[in-house]
Amino acid sequence: MPLLVVENLSISLFDEGHETQLVDRISYQVEQGETLAIVGESGSGKSLSSLSVMGLLAKELRVTSGRIMLDGEDLLSLSSEEMRQRRGRDLSMVFQEPMTSLNPVRTIGSQIMESIEENLGFSRSAARTRAIELLQEVGMADAERRLRQYPHHFSGGMRQRVMIAIALAANPKLIIADEPTTALDVTIQAQILELMTRLCREHGTALVLITHNLGIVARYAQRVTVMYGGRIVEAGRAVDLYHRPRHPYTEGLLRSVPRLDQDRTQPLRPIQGSPADPFMKITGCRFHPRCPYAAPVCRETKPAFEAGAACHFPLNQESRDAS
């Protein structure tokens, strides 16, 4: 049985009696110990769907349909207190900017130890020993001294290592990392992703990696789900999406980032136009205003999700070579 099952999940924004659908019946699964990447531009719904798994949606946002099952438990049926207990113990989240998650007036040690004491019931001294081990696991030298320091003593990359230590503290079943490296420079990004995926593998923890950069996740995730305009437009094994994208949006994402396996003299080609505005009514395929392959049917009929992609004219090897 998969660890996480998200099934037909829809999320809407309710504002002054007006409903705007932001996530449209998405489904995905994550196996124990697996890394799944959810990729898309801002506004695609990727972060909202993950916040709903954590039970952290803002009050004006509501799940309007679907199920979220974690290890056989229906998370949407839990009270907010029950969900609070699951967070940290069963589920953890790593955010883009650790400074907003860490308390600036408490030492790093007290913040890691709090999670261990609360979720695992360790004594103060056992929690301290475990916190030192965790800091060492995330590659922090002189961990005992670091424990007594405050967040502002750490660089951006080091703070993200602390966040990973906190996320792992209670041995959760699942970690959701939302753009965990976007605020970091490129060399540090690779180190942090490498570290996070390795530690999750070693701990048997499943990882959902949310990002806008398909190029970055290709080597860290086993499977990828691509979202556009609140829908899943493509899903499959990372290696397949990277080499043989079926949806034009996935192809566009890949063409807009540098790749080691392509001619470096070729210019990058960003996707034309702007991401779909959820407040604007777009009939048919939501990607059609930006799609180089759009045909009349694309403007009229919403494509079904079939054989890994939601497109009337999914790409294949031949059409890619000809394009």
Kindly tell me which of 207 and 291 has the beta carbon lying closer to ligand SF4: 291
Q: Does 45 sit near ligand SF4 (CB under 6 A)?
A: no
Kindly tell me which of 94 and 226 has the beta carbon lying closer to ligand SF4: 226
Kindly tell me which of 66 and 303 has the beta carbon lying closer to ligand SF4: 303
CB of 281 to ligand SF4, least distance (A): 16
Please enumerate in sequence order all residues whose Cβ is within 8 A of that of 181, keeping only pairs 6 or more positions apart, or say none: 160, 188, 189, 192, 193, 216
CB of 301 to ligand SF4, least distance (A): 8
Strand-pairing partners, residue 69, are 5, 74
Q: Does 303 sit near ligand SF4 (CB under 6 A)?
A: yes
CB of 313 to ligand SF4, least distance (A): 4
Kindly tell me which of 220 and 287 has the beta carbon lying closer to ligand SF4: 287
Residue 181 to residue 113: CA distance in whole angstroms: 24
**Which residue from 111, 66, 118 is spatially nearest to 89, judged by alpha carbons?**
118
Q: Does 291 sit near ligand SF4 (CB under 6 A)?
A: yes
Among 130, 161, 223, 312, contact with ligand SF4 (rule: CB under 6 A): 312
Q: Which stretch binds ligand SF4 (CB under 6 A): 23-31, 78-86, 146-154, 293-301?
A: 293-301
Q: Which of residues 226-285 bind ligand SF4 (CB under 6 A)?
A: 247-248, 285
CB of 286 to ligand SF4, least distance (A): 8
CB of 37 to ligand SF4, least distance (A): 20
Q: Does 224 sit near ligand SF4 (CB under 6 A)?
A: no
CB of 317 to ligand SF4, least distance (A): 17
Among 3, 30, 177, 298, contact with ligand SF4 (rule: CB under 6 A): 298
Kindly tell me which of 150 and 293 has the beta carbon lying closer to ligand SF4: 293
Kindly tell me which of 98 and 248 has the beta carbon lying closer to ligand SF4: 248
Cβ 108 vs Cβ 151: under 8 Å:
yes
List interacting residues with ligand SF4 (CB under 6 A). Answer: 247-248, 285, 287-288, 291, 293-294, 298, 303, 311-313
